[in-house]
Amino acid sequence: MADIDATHGTGTPPDDAVPAGGVPAGGVPAGGVPVDALRAAENGATSPAGPPAFDGDHPPSADLVSDCVHCGFCLTTCPTYVLWGEEMDSPRGRIHLIGQGLSGEPLSDSMVTHFDRCLGCMACVTACPSGVRYDRLIEDTRAQVERRHPRGPRDRALRAAIFALFPYPRRLRLLRGPLRAYRMTGLKNLMDRSGLLNRLAPTLATLDSLAPRLRSVPKPPARVHARGDRRALVGMLTGCVQSAFFPDVNSATVRILAAEGCEVLIPPSQGCCGALSVHNGRRAEAQRFARNLIDTFERTGMDYFVVNAAGCGSSLKEYDELLADDPRYAERAATFTAKVRDLSELLVELGPVARRHPLPMTVAYHDACHLGHAQGVRAQPRALLAGIPDLTVRPIREAEICCGSAGVWNVLNPAPAAELGDRKAKAVLDTGAELLVTANPGCLMQVAAGIRRQGGSIALAHTAQVLDASIRNLGTEALLES
Ligand code: SF4
Ligand code: SF4
């Protein structure tokens, strides 16, 4: 594990938070809700203060809450605790609040604020020696919050805009022209007066600025044959942000798979995988996306389903849990889930057949949280990079701490996201590497924005693009100029 610098950031702590390790409002020590009370509330007990925080539709599990022994090992890997040093903005504090909700407390605005501030990075899951399933707890909590907590009109409008846009690649593509105008003209000044566009447009404009010019990356064909003997039949997710802003990453992925003996199936009718929805408590919407994707791919007879975006991969690997209660889909979802692989996992599993050519350069590899923490995929991307002659990989300090992208967290929480982005950008620049490599479009965007704010510069690439450049013998220029 890399050294953790738990120096707190400069963000303003919330009014209702309590000092680290202290006693929150209500006088109950962190994590100290009795298990019996939690179970009673799970069975429908109510509080005189109002309806309990959670209803009976998949409440967070009291047993999982009681697994937390309050040791605090997770605290220094939690980005919000690192920023503010507040117990209620730590994993342990949030688990305590979930426990309070389960013991019958109503869902207060303050509780929701602390849940909303969680990035869902799952660094706490990696750090926890007791194996607490915080991922399950926060996902079930968020679904309850979205169904039961009335949000203000501004928050509702922003969330509605996000979820009407990000899961739809065609809509994202259509926006790219206006986004360019936004960046290059005085439109930005006009938009600054509009709260909603002011929140959405900078993120989208940064995405557009990082993406290759619209010139031209053709859409991948529906089927690409393996080069040489076929070793596997592979379905491929093109993704929403990935296909709209980083189509070069998808093209590189297809070429690598074909070079490694995979026949690749890319049905153009595939939609969003539902990752953004499920990570933000919109479970019914996520289930609709999941059913559609299963319908699209299960008839192909694929051996594997490959994903090159970390956030998508982590939710695809949980389709079995997402659809467990659906009698028509539960078994099919389990079959589908068993075939899901991150690109790096599949390539390591199959073993290389395509020749790697030298890339004499130094790169910094950034673990996307949803690949490292959520999927435990850390060794495979490094093994692929290590297989490229003359390529040196440098570690990034504080690798465990999220860059602040976290799906749409940076749109919903721009100020702390920028602080985390700057912190990560400094760590990346300090490596002295020529190229930053990662496996998630959101991380690329977030870290690049931080590096620009620092006045620095570094080339960016997805792991697939590095491997593709090596297999095709393109030399380092292809990566450093992109
Ligand atoms: S998921 Fe990340 S932000 Fe949320 S509590 Fe865990 S470490 Fe903190
Ligand atoms: S490390 Fe695990 S057991 Fe310890 S406080 Fe954090 S969540 Fe609870």
Tens of pLDDT along the chain (482 residues)?
333 334 455 555 444 333 333 333 333 333 344 444 444 444 444 455 678 999 999 999 999 999 999 999 999 999 999 999 999 999 999 999 999 999 999 999 999 999 999 999 999 999 999 999 999 999 999 999 999 999 998 888 888 888 998 898 888 878 776 666 665 665 555 554 545 455 565 556 555 555 545 445 567 899 999 999 999 999 999 999 888 888 899 999 999 999 999 999 999 989 999 999 999 999 999 999 999 999 999 989 999 999 999 999 999 999 999 999 999 999 999 999 999 999 999 999 999 999 999 999 999 999 999 999 999 999 999 999 999 999 999 999 999 999 999 888 988 888 899 999 999 999 999 999 999 999 988 898 889 889 988 899 999 999 999 999 999 999 999 999 75
Residue 32 CB–ligand 2 contact under 6 Å: no
- Closest atom of ligand 1 to 120 CA is 1
Q: How far, in Å, from the CA of 122 to the mean position of ligand 1?
A: 5
Alpha helices in 299-368 (DSSP H): 310-316, 319-322, 330-339, 343-350
Closest CA to 346 of 439, 208, 482, 470: 439
Could you count the other beta carbons within 10 Å of the beta carbon of residue 62?
Answer: 22
Residue 170 CB–ligand 2 contact under 6 Å: no
Residue 92 CB–ligand 2 contact under 6 Å: yes
Taking the C-alpha atoms of residue 353 and residue 242, their distance in angstroms, rounded to an integer, is 27
Q: How far, in Å, from the CA of 128 to the mean position of ligand 1?
A: 11
Taking the C-alpha atoms of residue 84 and residue 81, their distance in angstroms, rounded to an integer, is 5
What pLDDT does 16 receive?
35
Of all ligands present, the nearest one to the C-alpha of 99 is 2
pLDDT, tens digit (0-9, with 9 covering 90-100), for 127-177: 999 999 999 999 999 999 999 999 998 888 888 888 998 898 888 878 776
Q: How far, in Å, from the CA of 441 to the mean position of ligand 2?
A: 30
Closest CA to 173 of 199, 220, 212: 212
Q: In the chain, what are the helix, strand and coil shares in percent, each to the nearest 5?
A: 50, 10, 40
Of all ligands present, the nearest one to the C-alpha of 141 is 1
Q: If you ran DSSP here, which 8-state letter would residue 234 be given?
A: E
Cα 369 to Cα 77, 342, 436, 437: the distances in Å are 11, 13, 15, 14
Q: Which distant-in-sequence residues (6+ apart) come within 8 Å of 354 by Cβ?
A: 227, 256, 259, 260, 471
Architecture field, domain 35-148? Orthogonal Bundle (1.10)
Domain covering 355-480 assigned CATH 3.40.50 in the classification? yes
The pick from 77, 121, 136 for probing ligand 1's pocket by mutation, whose C-beta has the most ligand atoms within 8 angstroms, reads 121
Domains 223-348 and 355-480 share a fold: yes
Q: Where are the domains of the chain?
A: 35-148, 153-210, 223-348, 355-480
The pick from 33, 65, 124, 373 for probing ligand 2's pocket by mutation, whose C-beta has the most ligand atoms within 8 angstroms, reads 124
Closest CA to 385 of 347, 342, 349, 430: 347
Q: Which distant-in-sequence residues (6+ apart) come within 8 Å of 244 by Cβ?
A: 169, 172, 173, 176
Torsional sign, CA 131, 273, 158, 444: positive
Taking the C-alpha atoms of residue 345 and residue 99, their distance in angstroms, rounded to an integer, is 36
Could you count the other beta carbons within 10 Å of the beta carbon of residue 42?
Answer: 19
Domain covering 223-348 assigned CATH 3.40.50.1860 in the classification? yes
Taking the C-alpha atoms of residue 211 and residue 214, their distance in angstroms, rounded to an integer, is 8
Cβ-in-10-Å burial (0-12, 13-18, 19+) of 268 comes to exposed
Closest CA to 6 of 279, 400, 300, 332: 400
Q: If you ran DSSP here, which 8-state letter would residue 151 be given?
A: P
Pocket-forming residues, ligand 1, beta carbon under 6 Å: 77-80, 91, 94, 118-124, 134
